[in-house]
Structures are given as C-alpha cells and as structure tokens.
Chains A and B, each alone.
Chain A
Amino acid sequence: MWPRTPARIGVDGVMARMLPLHVTPGMPRVSPVTTAFSPTFDSASALAAAPATCRHCGEACTGLLLANAHGTFCCAGCAAVYALLQEHGLADFYTCAPDGVGPRPDDGPASSSRFAVLDDALTSAQFLDGGDGTWRYARFTVPAIHCASCLWLLERLWRLEPGVGTCDVDLGRRTVRIAFRPGETTLRRIAERMTALGYAPALDPDHRPAMPASRRVLYTKIGVAAFAAGNMMLFSIPRYANGAPLESVWQRLFDALNVLLAVPVLFYAAQDFLVAAWRALRVRHITLDVPVALGLLVLFGRSLFDILTGRGAGFLDAFAGLVLFLLIGRLFQQVAFDRIAFDRTARSFLPLSVHVASATGTALRAIDDLTPGDVMMLRPGEVVPADASVEGDGVVDLAFVTGEQAPVDVRLGEVVVAGARVVGAPLRLRVVRTVSHSRLASLWQASSGAHKPPPRLTTLATRFGQAFTVVALGLAVAGFMAWWPDVGTGAQVATAVLIIACPCALTLAAPVTLGTAAGCLGRAGVFLKTPAVALDLARVDTVVFDKTGTLTRAEAPAIVDLQELDDAQWDIVRRLAGVSTHPVSRALAGSSPVDSDVRHVHERAGAGIVGEVAGIRVALGTAPFVERVTGRRLSAVAGRTYASVADRAGWLTSTTPARPGTTSMIAAVSQVAETWLVSGDHDGTMAHWRPLFSDRQRFQQAPEDKQRFVAQLQAGGRHVLMIGDGLNDAAALGSASVGIAVADHAACLVPACDVVVSGEALQWLPEVLQYARRASRVIALCLAVSVLYNLVGLYLALTGALTPLVTAILMPVSSLTIVGLSTGLMRIRVPRFPS
C-alpha cells in the first residue's frame, strides 16, 4: 500500500503546501501577531531565538516567533489550530502524514464578513448538493487539501463543529462533501470553522467543484463494450474451434446473440466516434474520426449482411473488441489533474465583495456592483478589485500585475490598478473604472484572446485522417474494380479493405503514449493541462524565461553589497534589522537572536524601519523613507536599500538568488533551444545573467511587451515555450505555443497556462523537454508498426483471404502491440526527479 501512496502525496505536498489564497510569494508575511508587536519591541520575552520551525505548519519561522507550552509557532493562527486539535484529541493529525504538518490558517484579511455571502440562499445553493429529511450535503473546493493528514482531520470535522455529519474528502480534486443538519449549523459556520483550521473553502466561480459526470459515462461505455466483447468471443469460439460448420440451428442462435450484443456497442459505446465523425463531415472537414467511424460502420454493416444472408458469422466479435480498445484509448486521454486549475479567470484573484463607504457608515458590496465614484475601504492584505484612485497616502504591492518585487508608495490621487494589494495600513480608494473595464480584466482578455497556434496533435490527426480516408477509399474502389465483373467478391474485398484499414491502432498510439507521458510527468511535479501538450513541448525551439519568481525565488533575497558604512556600523544596522520581518531585513540580520536593546522601533511596511539600537538612532529602508526620518538628502539609485546610523548613511543591494540548479538547467536548455530572459524588473541584474543569456535579455518589459515579444518570435517561425509565474506573464503564457507557469506555494494563483510546474521541478526542464521528444518519437514508431499491420491486413483483404477468424486475431493483436509499445517505452527510464 504505502510504497505507492506516499510518492503521490509527496508530489502533491510540493504543489499544495501553498500559502492561503491571500498570501503571495514575494510578500512579507504580515500576520496579526506581527502587526500587534511591531510598534514597540519591549515585549521581547515572547520571542525565542531564530531559526525554528512552526510546530503546526512546519515552515521556518522567519518573522516573529510565538512560544507557549505547546512549542513554537509562526503565527497566532497556527498556535490556535494546534491548541484546538490537542483539546479535541485530534493530535494524531501530525502523525498520519509523512511530513506531519498542517496548512497555515488564513492570516490575510480574515474578517467575519468573508463568508457572509453564504447566508444568502442563492449563493449557498450553488454549494448544496442534494439532501434528505435530516441531512443536507454541501460540496466545497478546498485548495489547501494536500495529504493524508488533511483527509484525516476533515473527516473528523464533526468532532469540532456540532451539526456536521460525514465529510467525504476527495484528495485528487481537493473537494469535500459535507453532510450537515440545517437546524444545528449553517454553511457559513462550517466554512468559518474550516477556515480556522487552515482549510478555507474557495468561493469564487473558478473553484466550483465540478461533478465528475463525464467519466462515469466513459466507464459505463467501457463496461458495456467489455461485456459485449467478452460474451461475443465466447459465442464465436464454437464456430472457430469446431473444425466443421455448426448445425445451422446453433449457428443461428449464436449469430442472433452476437447481433443482440453488438447493437448497444454500436449505438451506445461507439456513439462518440460516430458523432465526432459526423460533426467533422458536416463542416466539410476530415479528421481521424472519419475513417474510424467509417471502419466501424462497414464492420457492423458487413457482419449484419453476412449473418442475414447466411454467408457467414461476420466480424462482430472483432467489432466489439475494436470499440473496447478505442474506448480504452479515450481513458488514457483523460489523464487530467483536476486539482489544478489551468484556466483561471481574473476573477479568482479578486475578493467577492469589498467594504464601501455609504451614507450610514460602511456596507459590503459585491465587486460587480462597484461603480466609478464609490469609495472602497481596504484593509492590509486585501486586493484592489477595480482601478481606483487613492484617497490618502499608502503602500501597495504590484507583484501580481507588474512582477515588480518591492511594494511601492502611492500618493493622494494616484490611480492604482486592479490586482494591487494593500500593504501596511488600511487604504481608502475611489473607484475610477468598473471591474470589467479594469486593466486586470483587459490583461486577462489579452491572454485568452491571444493568437495561439493550434495544438500539434490536432493538426497531425487531421492530416493523418485525410490521408487515411483517401488511401482506404481508393484501395477499396481499386479492389472492387479488380474483381469485376464478380460483384459479390468485389464487394466483399472492398468492405474487407475498409474494415482492415480502420486506423484503430493509429488512434490508439497518440492518446496512450501522451496519456502515459502526462501521468509520469505529473508524478514528477510537471502537470500538463491535456496530454496533447506533450507533443507541442516536443518541438519547442525557443524558451523565454521570466525572471522574478520564475528563475529566482522572491522570498529569500541575499545581500550582495554593503557600502559607505564600516563593519561596526553595519552590525548596528543588523541589530535593528533583526526585529523586522521584511525579507531584506531578514537576509541582513541573518540568524542573530532578537536583540533586547533595540527600542522605539517603528516599522512602515513597504517603506522601512527606524529605531534606537543601544541609544543610537538607526534607519533602514527605501531612500524616501530614510530621507524622511533622518532629514538628510540621499542620491537615490534604483534597486538600493539605504541605511543610516547616527549621522552616517550607506546603502546595500540585495539580489534574489536563483533557484537551485538554475544555472545548469539553462545551460542544458540552451543546447537544444534558444533561450531568452524577459523581465518586468529593472536591469540591475543584467550583468549577473550575462554568462547564461549573453545579450538575449530584455528588462522593464510590461506584460504587453512580453506578449508582443513572444508573438514576434512566433511570427519568425519559432515554437516558443514561455515560462512565467504571475499575472504579468499571463498574456505571454497565453500566446506562446506552450505556456508553463511556476507555482511555488500558491497553486491557486497560477495564471492561465498549459503546464503547471512546481518550483522544485523547474530545474528538470531539460529532462522534461527530452521526455516530450521521446513521446513524439514513440508515436512515430507506433504509427510505423500499425501501418505494417495494416499492410498485412490489406494484402489479405485484397486477395479475399480476410476471414472472420483472421480479423478476430489480427485486430486485437495490432491494438495490443500499440498499447504495449507506447506504455512500455514511455515508462522505462522515466527521468527520475527526486522529490
């Protein structure tokens, strides 16, 4: 049991150890505890020495620590969950998964009003899923579900929330189905309880749990086809094995039974193939479905004719087997990662409703009802839903929209675009454009409306389908003419040609190979939107990388340069930095313990920190901030962080280090493809990347520039792979042949793309490309083999030697060869990615 499951859990864990919806990579964690402690640091006794990991979520506590009798915690939320679980005897939560950690409870804009929409009957109805006299069922998507522990705890939700019954967790789709008694609890109470545990249900439309209905239909069809094929084989054996013709009464009985079984196979199990072919023909288009449907119909018609005229037993057993194999091919095609949303709309980044100033105070308003002129009151951590002008100074983080790392100051009257996140202090904003007309929405439309080249599989299938139809029909006519004037034999030969030319093995080759490849890649942390994406990956010849968040990890900067202060003075700055949670401060302070001699600290998020270290006034932050608190003029240079100690000032530069393995990864990729670096950041790190990209670097690229650049490369006939992480790359990801999004923690914040890669798996990109190329070659090999089988069959058909027995053997054997070849070749030497 275990050797298989933990591997999966491991991969899922990588993807899913996401921060809650409201914390983004690259943003300092501003937890309630931090804000409560930061004005004055005299309560330092509550803090322990760093580094330590949180007892609940297992993350390194980079900011302030909270210690109590249970252990150390990174935030109040984690401590509360831990205490709650202990109290209810649910401490096993930490022992039933390999890594034994829980998701961090949401410390974003946790407000009592967040789930107020669930009190509305219309909204809550969208989450209800049947019920009976006592119980009602609700279905939620919970993005934080990732491992066995999550499943264990959520199944025991009834111990924490009265009125809750069973709770079925679907790890794959990250959904829960909760039974509850309407009189005793409400959807809102359940949602709030789950949020307090770190499992906040997602309410946005993109996260509506889908009912897995289509797969049920496919399973039923496979069941019907397998049932029919098995029984027909039994009914056909007497005839094949008898040696002499059966007595006609028995032969008729078996034939009748076969026809009886074949009818549901044709009209139910094979329905999709016939419908697809009919749709293609109606628009005067020939796809691979057309010769398949033609083959199936001829097979069935000819068999029926043979049976009715008493010429023979027909090929009905081969027919049912064929449909069964075709359906199994469909099953491979359905390798899908339900838990990952590839097609996000901009809406999933935005809150459902915001507080708006009204005549009577504030009111909660759905963001669609916002009109220009409304004044929104946003708290720290909340996302601005519509372009709006600021009513007072503040700080926002534009990482989503521009890819810029550092939060920026905004002044009274300045317009902030939708998607910006409020940092530090609450902010009042006046809406200037409605949600649907905001820049975020238009960026998103640009990405979805982008001219994307059609998937290679579609073009290939169309080309093969046309060639196949022409050749098969041509041969059938030729065979018919060759036997002229013997019309009877001619018709038999013609139908035999159409039967044997049915490109069943061909239709199996691509889905089985690509489906197997997608499954293997998924286990390695590379998730394809559809298996067909692997074919497009196989012919990529240009790779465009985004920098921030893709090649570098935004949350762990390194200090590269300390200037204009001496070592003793920098040590003093370090002591101040030790009490800050900002990533640069953490990097500067290193692991030194929190200093009790740092007093009168005042930190302004997104700007800087000022305080007294051993009586000396010290400031650290952006140039405007240090200028403001010290009254000195600084010659500000972009990308620098300034510090002042007493009357001296200096500066430092920090860089976000590349992910491990990046250098060798890019070097390996550039062997097989042209590599480009495209970043929205300033060009301060150009020299750093020169050895890898030489002059193929572009900085200060707006999202539109990135998309234009990709389109320009494609216009030059290149197959472009774009790798990015944020909204600022969304347009480029949408128009590239293949768009890969890197997801570190927040799998729920990935823009629309074809592939989602976990941050750890990105370094295996060269292996992934190679594996995709192998898939392409395996398909070519399978095609060659199936053509070989078809040639043998055609020879038999044209000479009139294609008997039912030969068909009954040849067709399944060719299908089995293809399935065996493609799964086997894609499973051996799968690039082994340590997880």
Chain B
Amino acid sequence: VTVIVWLIAAGALVAGGFMAAFVWAVRSGQFDDTTSPAIAVLHDDPVVPPRDTDREGSLHA
C-alpha cells in the first residue's frame, strides 16, 4: 500500500503546480478584465491585397 504515499506526493505536486499557476495568473492581472480580450480577439485585420502577385501566385488574385 506504500504506493499511496507516492500517489499522494505526485498528486500534491500536480495540484500545487496548478495552484501556483493560478496564483501567478491572478497576480499578473489576467482576471482583471474578462470582457475586453474576448471582444478584441474577434477583430480581423483587413485582408490587404498582396502587392507582389508574382510571388503569391494567383491564389490571392
């Protein structure tokens, strides 16, 4: 049954890692604004017609 000690140790390590990751995420401000990034990511930059059609081929023409 000593395997349970190893399991607990491994579990604590993994859980502690996630805990640390969560604390870091909160501290670095990732939960400060939960609306704007969701909106910002939806914007596409305009499709700029390629200037150099020779290199791009006819795919974008």
Contacts and interface: CB of A to CB of B under 8 A. Distances in A.
B55 to A, nearest CB: 22
A148 B39 contact: yes
A interface majority secondary structure: helix
A96 B46 contact: no
B36 A170 contact: yes
Interface in B30-60: 31-36, 38-40, 42-43, 46
B46 A171 contact: no
A220 B8 contact: no
A538 B56 CA distance: 66
A148 B43 contact: yes
Contacts of B34: 172
A89 B36 contact: no
Nearest to B21: A223
Interface in A428-460: none
Contact of A169 (B31, B36, B42): B36
Contacts of A231: 11-12, 15
Interface stretch (A58-66, A211-219, A321-329): A211-219
B40 A89 contact: no
B36 A171 contact: yes
A151 interface: yes
B26 A220 contact: yes
B40 A216 contact: no
A155 interface: yes
A223 B26 contact: yes
Nearest to A249: B1
Given A216-B27, A227-B19, A5 B39 contact: yes
A143 to B, nearest CB: 16
A614 to B, nearest CB: 52
A250 interface: yes
Contact of A155 (B1, B31, B40): B40
B15 A172 contact: no
Interface string A218-248: 0110011001001100100000000000000
Nearest to A5: B39
Contacts of B39: 5, 9, 148, 151, 171
Nearest to B40: A151
B35 A216 contact: no
A713 to B, nearest CB: 40
A359 interface: no
B22 to A, nearest CB: 5
Given A216-B27, A257-B8, A92 B46 contact: yes
Contacts of A216: 26-27, 29, 31-32
Q: How large is the interface on B (under 10, 10 to 19, 20 to 34, 35 or more residues)?
A: 20 to 34
Interface string B1-18: 100110010011001000
B31 A151 contact: no
Contact of A172 (B31, B35, B40, B42): B35
A211 B40 CA distance: 21
A172 B36 contact: yes
A604 interface: no
A220 B23 contact: yes
A718 interface: no
A523 interface: no
B43 A5 contact: no
B28 to A, nearest CB: 9
B33 A172 contact: yes
Contacts of B4: 250
B26 A227 contact: no
A136 interface: no
B43 A96 contact: yes
A560 interface: no
A249 to B, nearest CB: 10
Contacts of B26: 216, 219-220, 223
A1 interface: yes
Contacts of B19: 223-224, 227
A89 B46 contact: yes
A155 B32 CA distance: 18
A234 to B, nearest CB: 8
Contacts of A230: 15
A1 B8 contact: no
Contacts of A602: none
A121 B30 CA distance: 30
Contacts of B23: 220, 223
Nearest to A96: B43
Nearest to B46: A92
A1 B32 contact: no
A171 B37 CA distance: 9
A640 interface: no
B43 to A, nearest CB: 5
Contacts of A250: 1, 4
A173 B32 CA distance: 10
Contacts of A155: 40
A1 B31 contact: no
B33 to A, nearest CB: 4
A65 B1 CA distance: 85
A698 interface: no
Interface in A126-163: 148, 151-152, 155
A347 interface: no
Contacts of B33: 170-173
A8 interface: yes
B43 A8 contact: no
A250 B35 CA distance: 47
A383 B3 CA distance: 77
Given A172-B36, A216-B27, A219-B31, A1 B22 contact: no
A716 B39 CA distance: 51
A131 B15 CA distance: 34
Nearest to A247: B1
Among A8, A170, A215, A253, chain B packs the most CB atoms within 10 A around the CB of A170
B32 A212 contact: yes
Residue among B4, B33, B34 with the most chain A CB within 10 A? B33
Nearest to B16: A227
Nearest to A216: B26
Nearest to A172: B35
A9 B42 CA distance: 14
Contacts of A224: 19
A227 B43 CA distance: 36
B40 A152 contact: yes
Given A215-B31, A220-B26, A257-B8, A151 B46 contact: no
A215 B46 CA distance: 37
B42 A170 contact: no
Contact of B15 (A170, A173, A227): A227
A155 B1 CA distance: 58
A501 to B, nearest CB: 32
A263 B4 CA distance: 23
12 contacts: A92-B46, A152-B40, A152-B43, A170-B32, A171-B39, A172-B36, A173-B33, A215-B32, A220-B27, A223-B19, A234-B11, A253-B8
Interface of B: 1, 4-5, 8, 11-12, 15, 19, 22-23, 26-27, 29, 31-36, 38-40, 42-43, 46
Top 5 A-B pairs, shortest CB-CB distance: A171-B36, A170-B33, A219-B26, A212-B32, A223-B22
Given A2-B42, A223-B22, 17 more contacts: A5-B35, A148-B42, A148-B43, A151-B40, A169-B36, A169-B40, A170-B36, A171-B33, A173-B33, A212-B32, A215-B31, A215-B32, A216-B27, A219-B31, A224-B19, A227-B22, A234-B11
